[in-house]
Amino acid sequence: MGDYGKNQKNGGGQGRLVMVLSILLAAAMLIFFGINQSGKKETMEKEPGETEDTQKPLASREEDTQQEENDGRYEETVREADRLAASYDYDAAVALLQAMEGYETDTRLKEKVKEYEETKAACQPVNMEEITHVFYHTLVVDPERAFASQDTNPQAVGNNQWMTTVSEFEKITQEMYDRGYVIVSIHDLVRATKDENGKPVYEQGEILLPPGKKPYVLSQDDLCYYHSYDNYGYAARMVLDENGKPVCEYIQEDGTVLTGAYDVVPLLDAFLEEHPDASYRGAKGIIALTGYNGILGYRTDESYRNVDGDLNYDKKQWLARHPDFDIEKERAEAKKVADAMKADGWEFASHTWGHMKVGDASLNRLMTDTQKWRENVEPLVGGVDTIIFAHGQDLGDWGAYDESNPKYRYLREQGYSIFCNVDSNQYRTWYGTDYLRQGRRNLDGYRIYNNAVGLQDSVSDLFDAAEIIDPERPPVPPLR
Ligand SMILES: [Zn+2]
């Protein structure tokens, strides 16, 4: 059990590992092909109308092709180093350039290394107590479908209160970026070591950012595409595109299926592709998953096997519409998507299997629920050390968790060491001796609307709600 939490720490690290490996591969290729800058000058610009090297002997043409390939790799490696430096990983950027063949005599590369080192020297450690954590649910793709019939349909009201639209998410992300916000991994907040007895010790981590940049953690809850979301204008599931990158399937009202960026993951991926400096060393968000309806839109839960059992209406309906249901296929597909997300820097967390109220639940119920998560979700996303409580509940009051709290002790034994709730504070982080707690802020319809109309002032440090609110969002009623 001791290494369980450690495994997951690599969830976030895994993406970075993949990145580092590909960088090393690129460097190795450069060395292999014996690139040097002086060779570059031999590539000549062609005059207009000149035919494609036909006058040259074949061997010379092959050399030219080789040279072009080498130049391409040289430029690609420099671009990769720039990208690493843009995402504040100056050491990796420097190491990449220094590993290039001919570095010692290449003034351009040396200049770049100097520049990276100067930028790094200007970075400052951020205040680890002042890292805000924002979260979203599944995004609304079509506000008309999600918000229709506010007067008569309680679910439409729920959609309006708890959900953020695609356009709001995009505007918030842009606005936070413009204000200097940078996504960090929640694992960057802690430095986990062990004491002389091998017991884990958590201390504040160190995050170095240029002046004016502010770190934040991002999470998304319930990325399961519950049956109850059907026909309300949400994406239906996550799939991989032709490049193996996670995207969404969205089923239009007429039943036709679109594939593209219809939720947080692909939208943020695209944003970070354009703005590598919006993420600290490749960090993305934390995806908090329940298990009862499966994950990522795949019906992976054991309960779907039991067609005659006490399946709820949603599940029965779904199984009736999918007579070819094969749980192993669903699980394999879900795992493929989860693996691709992890390779891209996304991390996973438990949101409890049954979206349970951990504060109200008995220890027994918590244990049953946790085992279901371990059996049905963990094999697909890997072990996790983070639990994001549902319904904003918590195991205890804010402050140090009490070791005499049996639910806390149980979750610690199960490998959880990072605990998040919802408190809507600007920032609230608690460093325990061997665990971390963080409060989160919901950037949902309720908060956006109330800030936009001036009933609350709880997001102005992040964005101007009146500017970003979706014009198609109806007034959000007070919570009951
Ligand atoms: Zn939830």
Report d(CA 421, CA 109) in Å as an integer: 46
Number of domains, the chain: 2
Residues 92 and 141 in one domain: no
Strand-pairing partners, residue 182, are: 215
Residue type, 311: L
Residues 94 and 208 in one domain: no
SS3 376: helix
What is the whole-number distance in angstroms between the Cα of residue 393 and the centre of ligand 1?
10
Residues 142 and 68 in one domain: no
| Most confident by average pLDDT, 4-8, 61-65, 208-212 | 208-212
- pLDDT class of 64 with cuts at 50, 70, 90: confident
What is the whole-number distance in angstroms between the Cα of residue 166 and the centre of ligand 1?
18
Q: What is the pLDDT of residue 10?
A: 40
Q: What is the pLDDT of residue 40?
A: 39
Residues 112 and 137 in one domain: no
What is the whole-number distance in angstroms between the Cα of residue 391 and the centre of ligand 1?
6
Q: Can you give the length of the chain in residues?
A: 480
What is the whole-number distance in angstroms between the Cα of residue 422 and the centre of ligand 1?
10
Residues 6+ apart with CB under 8 A from 158: none
What is the whole-number distance in angstroms between the Cα of residue 137 and the centre of ligand 1?
7
What is the whole-number distance in angstroms between the Cα of residue 263 and the centre of ligand 1?
16
- pLDDT class of 478 with cuts at 50, 70, 90: confident
Q: What is the pLDDT of residue 46?
A: 42
Phi, psi values for residue 95, rounded to 5°:
-60, -40
The DSSP letter of residue 292 is B
Residue ending a domain, among 98, 122, 146, is 122
Domain-located, residue 127: no
- Whether 355 has a pLDDT exceeding 90, the answer reads yes
Residue type, 32: F
Phi, psi values for residue 43, rounded to 5°:
-75, 120
**What value does the mean pLDDT take over residues 447-461?**
97
Report d(CA 366, CA 411) in Å as an integer: 9
Closest CA to 6 of 200, 284, 283, 217: 200
- Whether 59 has a pLDDT exceeding 80, the answer reads no
Region at 86 (left for phi over 0; alpha for psi -120 to 50; beta for the rest): alpha
Residues 188 and 304 in one domain: yes
What is the percent of the chain with per-residue pLDDT over 70, rounded to a whole number? 88
Residue 351 near residue 289, CB atoms below 8 Å: yes
What is the whole-number distance in angstroms between the Cα of residue 95 and the centre of ligand 1?
42
Residue 392 near residue 436, CB atoms below 8 Å: no
Higher pLDDT, 6 or 188: 188
Domain-located, residue 210: yes
Region at 120 (left for phi over 0; alpha for psi -120 to 50; beta for the rest): alpha
Structure confidence by residue, pLDDT tens digits, 277-292: 999 999 999 999 999 9
What is the whole-number distance in angstroms between the Cα of residue 394 and the centre of ligand 1?
13
Residues 78 and 227 in one domain: no
Structure confidence by residue, pLDDT tens digits, 108-163: 999 999 999 999 999 999 999 999 999 999 999 999 999 999 999 999 999 999 99
Report d(CA 368, CA 309) in Å as an integer: 18
- Whether 34 has a pLDDT exceeding 90, the answer reads no
Domain-located, residue 474: no
What is the whole-number distance in angstroms between the Cα of residue 154 and the centre of ligand 1?
17
Phi, psi values for residue 379, rounded to 5°:
-60, -20
Residues 6+ apart with CB under 8 A from 441: 132, 133, 134, 135, 422, 423, 424, 425, 426, 447, 458, 459
Report d(CA 98, CA 288) in Å as an integer: 39
Region at 46 (left for phi over 0; alpha for psi -120 to 50; beta for the rest): beta
DSSP strand pairing (190-194 vs 200-204): antiparallel
Residues 107 and 144 in one domain: no
- Whether 370 has a pLDDT exceeding 50, the answer reads yes
Neighbouring C-beta atoms of residue 129, cutoff 10 Å: 12
What is the whole-number distance in angstroms between the Cα of residue 324 and the centre of ligand 1?
30
What is the whole-number distance in angstroms between the Cα of residue 224 and the centre of ligand 1?
10
Residues 314 and 396 in one domain: yes
Domain-located, residue 407: yes
Phi, psi values for residue 11, rounded to 5°:
-55, -50
pTM recorded for the entire structure? 0.87
Q: What is the pLDDT of residue 197?
A: 92
Residues 158 and 254 in one domain: yes
- Whether 244 has a pLDDT exceeding 90, the answer reads yes
What is the whole-number distance in angstroms between the Cα of residue 25 and the centre of ligand 1?
40
Residue 109: domain span: 4-122
Residue ending a domain, among 102, 122, 142, is 122
- pLDDT class of 7 with cuts at 50, 70, 90: very low
**What value does the mean pLDDT take over residues 209-225?**
98
What is the whole-number distance in angstroms between the Cα of residue 355 and the centre of ligand 1?
6
What is the whole-number distance in angstroms between the Cα of residue 389 and the centre of ligand 1?
8
Residues 101 and 175 in one domain: no
| Most confident by average pLDDT, 56-60, 69-73, 338-342 | 338-342
Ion ligand 1 residue ranges (Cβ < 5 Å): 221-222, 390
What is the whole-number distance in angstroms between the Cα of residue 388 and the centre of ligand 1?
9
What is the whole-number distance in angstroms between the Cα of residue 387 and the centre of ligand 1?
12
Q: What is the pLDDT of residue 50?
A: 45
- Whether 30 has a pLDDT exceeding 70, the answer reads no
What is the whole-number distance in angstroms between the Cα of residue 221 and the centre of ligand 1?
5
- Whether 3 has a pLDDT exceeding 50, the answer reads no
What is the whole-number distance in angstroms between the Cα of residue 323 and the centre of ligand 1?
29
In Å, how far from its chain's centre is CA 72? 31
What is the whole-number distance in angstroms between the Cα of residue 155 and the centre of ligand 1?
15
Strand-pairing partners, residue 220, are: 136, 287
What is the whole-number distance in angstroms between the Cα of residue 177 and the centre of ligand 1?
26
What is the whole-number distance in angstroms between the Cα of residue 135 and the centre of ligand 1?
10
What is the whole-number distance in angstroms between the Cα of residue 358 and the centre of ligand 1?
12
> What's the longest Cα–Cα distance across the chain?
85
Report d(CA 132, CA 172) in Å as an integer: 14
Residues 118 and 245 in one domain: no
Report d(CA 350, CA 222) in Å as an integer: 10
What is the whole-number distance in angstroms between the Cα of residue 351 and the centre of ligand 1?
7
Report d(CA 118, CA 181) in Å as an integer: 21
What is the whole-number distance in angstroms between the Cα of residue 386 and the centre of ligand 1?
14
What is the whole-number distance in angstroms between the Cα of residue 264 and the centre of ligand 1?
15
Domain-located, residue 75: yes
Report d(CA 319, CA 453) in Å as an integer: 44
Residue ending a domain, among 122, 142, 177, is 122
SS3 441: strand
Q: Which of 50-54, 334-338, 461-465 has the lowest mean pLDDT?
A: 50-54
Q: Return the HEC string of 293-320.
A: CEECCECCCHHHHCCCCCCCHHHHHHHH
Structure confidence by residue, pLDDT tens digits, 173-202: 999 999 999 999 999 999 999 999 988 899
- pLDDT class of 70 with cuts at 50, 70, 90: confident
What is the whole-number distance in angstroms between the Cα of residue 372 and the centre of ligand 1?
17
The domain spanning residue 352 has which CATH number? 3.20.20.370
